[in-house]
Amino acid sequence: MRAVSTASWDLPENPPTRAEIERARWPKYDAFAFISGGATYLEDIEPAGTLHMAVVRSPVAHGRLLGVDIGEALAMDGVVAAVDGQEAARHLAPMPYLQNPEDIEARAFSVPALAVDELRWLGEPVAVVVAESAPRAQAAAAAVHVRYEELRPVLDPDELTEDPSAELVLAANDFTRGDTGSAFASAPHSLQSTVRIARSSTAPMEPRGYLASWDADGRLTVHASHQQPFQLRWELATVLQIPEDVIRVVVPQVGGSFGLKMTGFSEEPLVCLLSRLTGRPVKFVESRYECFLGGGREQIHRAAVAFDDQGRLLALRDHITIPVGAASTSPGWRMAYVTAATFPSAYDIPAVEIRSRVLLTNRPPWHSCRGYGKDTAIVVIERLVDMVAAHLGLDPAEVRRRNLLPSDRLPHRLPSGYLIDSGDFDALLDRALTLAGYRPGQGPRPADPEGDVVEGVGIAFEITPEGGGHPSGPLRTAVRPTAPVPETATVSVNAKGRVEVRSSVTNPGGGNDTSLAQLAADELGTTRAMVTVVQGDTDRVPAGTGHASSRATAVGGAAVVLAARDVASRLRAHAAALTGARPDRITFADSRVEADRRPVMTLADLCLDLHSTVGAAELAVTRSYAPQTQQGLNDGEEYRYTYPYVSSGVYVARVLVDLATGKTTITGLVAVHDCGRVINPTLVEGQMHGAMATGAGLALFEESLSDDDGSPLTSSFKHYLLPRANDLPSMVVEHIETPSPHTLLGAKGAGEAGVGGTMASVVNAVTHALGPGCPPPTALPLTPPRVLDLLAHAHGGVEP
């Protein structure tokens, strides 16, 4: 284990050099382009003659589609074409689902790009219109008349909880260990809790967007604000019924994604179809209203925990209802499986029963959200642990300490089969409590003389299974669906010593290109200015997952290291031949070549000589890397899941709650995080700050609301409340490193961690502030009205 502070490297027995610290803290590769307005987003790309597409959407949550009248729209000035579902179906195959649903006990399905017979959710695409400008296209879309017979929608998940009909059950996931019935019957104590987690959004700065154009040879180029260009290429080939190799997908700089910008949206093939029909480039950029139509995370947990007098957890039961909206080929609904599979987190609970039912409704489909289902599981288990502590009058930190898995029990297999590969959970807890100035047994206390504002402290432990990949191209059939999926990189050096890295990993704005450049530069002994990273272009980079599940550095970075090492080995051999030194005595530093630690030439001179004598091919290497398959401790069963590593962390939140208004103010957030080897602390801390802000927002503000008929009430940032800078305190983040035994670099993931842990710690802090007389919260987020409702029920003695 290695502790790394945000301020310094705490490794006195082997301190890094100043150069190592500076390299590890490389700032974001192209930060100036973003902060100066020089970044090129999808909206900035507009070839001559570009048309703009607008989508006509279903006005009802459920109905029988009787017809679509596009005549008035076609007659409008500047309108070039319009297509309804019947016409689209003559050109497009149904939208496919990228992964095999059956590997998570879900039923297979496909959906049309535009509704044909049935309207399944309010906002479902029904027709598209293209015009000379976006405003004209939107006006024409408003003129399209949709005829329908309204049907009764399924909107309330409580209607489905007890006995949902078979056609509404998308997936059933049950995970058990031990005998929960006997454990509950014999336990000295047990508690029950219902937790309703609201639907929420990803709300990226830049919404989705696509630009399609065909050339004279029938080749299609698609620019897309997207995470996964090769998966998008496969989807388009399938729906358009053309070969993959005639499609080029290019991802420009992306203004955030957080899971939203994966495949499965009907606008993706529709812009391509309309471009082919009109013979001109066609662009679609969704509005903020359209961005807020989708969502995720909505769940109802009916959980119970059994425990002894010392707070040892004996059994856990959670029956989960997860309404994922209408069926969609976006991978968002798969988060439901991950929620169930993440229980019981890192707690050593002998008996576990998880029963999850994933249900279809007539709300908009789920899209993927940062945290990807693990966040909600963490909130539920951490609430239960706090409830146990309160029931027994024990300190919440001590109850966690008594139940966390010790390091000598790792790797540890969860009931679902997920494997916790490594960690030091006691060290995380100790360090976080010390950083937060936590005092055991501290009760809620007034923060002002009048007693209207009270302070609370909350703790949460989090695990985050990460590193799952999506096979693309030839790997779709070559890689077993549940095996670790590789990423690929090509590293080349030109005659001037400049390094180019072409990676299958894409960058949705978080800066993983910086880490890839850093890793290549370290292996080749060169400087940042000499490394260029190419990503997100299916014609220029090798195939891979793109960006998902915090694998860019841990998996994609490992491929870069392997390729760079091979290039360095060839350079070393050529330098040895030129100098007469042994290859193992040749080193590279600061773009110089050294023999026995004496400079002998520049790296550029060496590369020029090698290019002139051997050729450029000698200095270009492509390597792939997949994490090792895993097994549990004393467990011979082959690991068959795509999450090869698990990060972990402890979060401590301090809040002030105004008892008169219900408003919560977060005054402190501390995180001690273990993502294995930290390649670039600056980037990891940036990821953590963003995730913690998301978790805080989900705990207190963020909620996607709709009316009784399914009409969205959350259509802008005026209604969807993201935390602002002045809603958040200064965050303290430190790292403890327990390298993953299953990755080349020892790195784990840092992109999804922090959401669930922060969300749970803030909720626990609010509950702590409200005191033992207040019933536990049953609905999240804890908005001021919900806090006041808890207080009212406390005074009335009735649970909400």
Q: How many helices (H) and strands (E) does the chain have?
A: 20, 31
* Per-residue pLDDT at 12: 31
**Calpha distance 264→696 (Å, rounded):** 29
Closest to 552 in 3D by CA, of 741, 683, 376:
683
Cross-strand partners of 318: 303, 354
pLDDT at 22 over 90: no
Chain centre to alpha carbon of residue 393: 37
Tell me the mean pLDDT in the region 518-542.
Answer: 94
Sheet with strand 731-737: strands edge to edge: 2-4, 731-737, 664-674, 645-658, 453-466, 445-446
Rounded Cα distance, 453 and 660, in Å = 8
Measured in whole angstroms, the distance separating CA 72 from the mean position of its chain's CA atoms is 42
Distance (Å, rounded) from C-alpha 145 to C-alpha 128?
12
> Helix or strand or coil: residue 395?
coil
* Digit-coded pLDDT (tens) for 401-414: 999 999 999 999 99
HSE, CB side, 13 Å, CA atoms: give it for residue 311.
22
Least confident range from 236-250, 572-586, 783-797: namely 783-797
**Is the distance from CB of 291 to CB of 209 less than 8 angstroms?**
no
Alpha carbon separation from 643 to 66, 193, 384, 646 (Å, rounded) = 45, 29, 26, 8
Average confidence (pLDDT) over 447-454: 78
Residue 687 has pLDDT above 80, yes or no: yes
Q: What is the pLDDT of residue 103?
A: 67
- The residues, ordered by sequence, that sit 6+ positions from 707 with a Cβ below 8 Å of its Cβ are 713
Give me 361's structure tokens. Answer: 């409704």
The helix (H) or strand (E) run that includes residue 1 is: none
How many Cα atoms are found within 13 Å in the side-chain-facing hemisphere of 419? Answer: 27
Indicate if the pLDDT at residue 441 is higher than 60: yes
pLDDT of residue 15: 42
State the sign of the Cα–Cα–Cα–Cα dihedral 100, 105, 107, 110. Answer: negative
- Model confidence at 399, pLDDT cuts 50, 70, 90, reads very high
The Cα 676–Cα 164 span in angstroms is 43
Give burial (CB, 10 Å; 0-12/13-18/19+) of 66. Answer: exposed
The whole-angstrom separation of Cα 370 and Cα 128 is 30
Q: Which residues pair with 212 in a beta bridge?
A: 222, 282
Q: Report the amino acid identity of residue 274.
A: L
Burial 644-678 (b: 16+ CB within 10 A, else e): bbbbbbbbbbbbbbbbeebebbbbbbbbbbbbbbb
Q: Are 388 and 708 in contact (CB under 8 A)?
A: no
What is the distance between the alpha carbons of residues 199 and 632, in angstroms, rounded to a whole number? 35
Cis peptide before 508 (omega within 30 of 0): no
Q: How far apart are CA 568 and CA 564, in angstroms?
A: 6
Looking at this protein, which amino acid is placed at residue 316?
Answer: L
Burial (CB count within 10 angstroms: exposed 0-12, middle 13-18, buried 19+), residue 69: middle
Cα–Cα distance measured from residue 503 to residue 493, given in angstroms and rounded to the nearest whole number: 15
| DSSP per-residue string spanning 186-212 | H-SEEEEEEEEE--B----SS--EEEE
> For residues 344 and 154, is the Cβ–Cβ distance under 8 A?
no
CA 270 to CA 276: how far, in whole Å?
10
The pLDDT tens digits for 103-128 are 676 777 889 999 999 999 999 999 99
Give pLDDT, residue 17: 44
Distance, in Å, from the CA atom of 20 to the CA atom of 7, rounded to the nearest integer, reads 14
Cβ proximity of 660 and 687 under 8 Å: no
Q: Which residue has the tokens 């579902």?
A: 85
| Cα dihedral 274, 275, 280, 284 in deg (nearest 10) | 80
pLDDT band for 65, please (50, 70, 90 cuts): very high
Q: pLDDT class for 167, splitting at 50, 70, 90? A: confident
Tokens for 764, please give them.
Answer: 């626990």
pLDDT the model gives residue 637 = 64
CA dihedral (681, 685, 688, 689) in degrees, to 10, reads -170
- What six digits make up the tokens of 208? 């989705």
Pick from 688, 174, 307, 195: which is nearest to 462 by CA? 688
**Helices 512-524 and 558-579: angle between axes, nearest 10 degrees:** 20
> Mean pLDDT, the chain, as a whole number?
90
Q: Where are the alpha helices (DSSP H) in 267-345?
A: 267-278, 288-291, 335-342
Q: Distance between CA atoms of 384 and 372, rounded to whole angstroms?
A: 21
What gap in Å lies between CA 450 and CA 151, rounded to an integer?
55
Q: Report the pLDDT value the prediction gives residue 768, as an integer from 0 to 100.
A: 96
Choice among 52-61, 490-499, 622-631 with the minimum mean pLDDT: 622-631
User: What does the buried/exposed string (b/e) look like for 177-191 if buried means 16 or more CB atoms within 10 Å of the residue's CB?
Assistant: bbebeebbeebeebe
CA distance 654 to 665: 9
Q: Give me the helix-helix angle, 267-278 and 229-240, nearest 10°.
A: 60
Give the pair of three-digit tokens for residue 104: 């998570």
Percent of the chain with pLDDT over 70: 91
423 HSE (CA, 13 A, CB side): 34
User: For the purposes of burial, counting CB atoms within 10 Å of the CB of 740, is it exposed (0-12), middle (13-18) or buried (19 or more)?
Assistant: buried
* Of 21 and 85, the one with more pLDDT: 85
Q: What is the mean pLDDT of residues 158-169?
A: 76
Say yes or no to pLDDT of 600 above 80.
yes
- Flag the least confident range among 206-215, 454-463, 482-491, 735-744: 482-491
Nearest to 460 by CA among 421, 418, 434, 432: 432
Which range scores top for mean pLDDT: 26-40, 519-533, 652-666? 652-666
Q: What angle do CA 263, 489, 558 make, to 5 degrees?
A: 100
Residue 516: is its pLDDT beyond 90? yes
pLDDT over 80 at 617, yes or no? no
Helical axes 755-770 vs 784-796, angle rounded to 10°: 40
Q: How far is CA 736 from CA 183, 307, 728, in A?
A: 35, 30, 24
Roughly what angle, to the nearest 10 degrees, separates helices 512-524 and 681-700? 160
pLDDT band at 238; cut points 50, 70, 90: very high
List of residues 6+ apart from 789 with CB closer than 8 A: 800
More confident residue, 30 or 646: 646
Give the Cα separation of 671 and 758 in Å (integer).
8
Beta carbons within 10 angstroms of residue 739's beta carbon: 18
- Supply φ then ψ for residue 603, to 5 degrees: -65, -35
Lowest mean pLDDT across 7-11, 91-95, 368-372, 712-716 = 7-11
Question: Nearest 5°: phi and psi at 776?
Answer: -65, 150
Alpha-carbon distances, residue 582 vs 410, 522, 592, 606 (angstroms): 43, 21, 17, 16
Cα distance between residue 698 and residue 721, in whole Å: 10
Q: Is pLDDT larger for residue 617 or for residue 123?
A: 123
Retrieve residue 765's tokens: 């802090």
